[in-house]
Amino acid sequence: MRNLNQAVLIILLILAIGTGIWLNKTAWRNRRLIWQMQAAVVAGGVGFVAGRVTGGKG
């Protein structure tokens, strides 16, 4: 189970980095939406890890 948690965290980090690279190459008019998507990915990852660390049964 711990390997699964680490794999999910790594995937979320890769998605956040990939979104950041995409953001750097995107037109200005789309950046606000991409920032929101990137923030959602990072917040989801942090929430997932925090739930696992605190022993949440979500």
CB 45 within 8 A of CB 12: yes
Quick check: is 24 in a domain? no
| Residues 6+ away with beta carbon under 8 Å from 31 | 23
Quick check: is 5 in a domain? no
What mean pLDDT, rounded, does the chain reach?
Answer: 80
Neighbours of 41 (CB within 10 A): 20
Over range 49-54, report the average pLDDT: 84
pLDDT band of residue 16 (cuts 50, 70, 90) is confident
Q: Residue 49 belongs to what domain range?
A: 29-53
pLDDT tens profile 38-48: 888 889 888 88
CB 13 within 8 A of CB 38: no
- In this predicted structure, the answer to whether residue 1 has a pLDDT above a threshold of 80 is no
What pLDDT, on a 0 to 100 scale, did the predictor assign at position 56?
Answer: 62
Measured CA to CA, the distance from residue 50 to residue 31 in angstroms comes to 28
Total domains in the chain come to: 1
What pLDDT, on a 0 to 100 scale, did the predictor assign at position 21?
Answer: 81
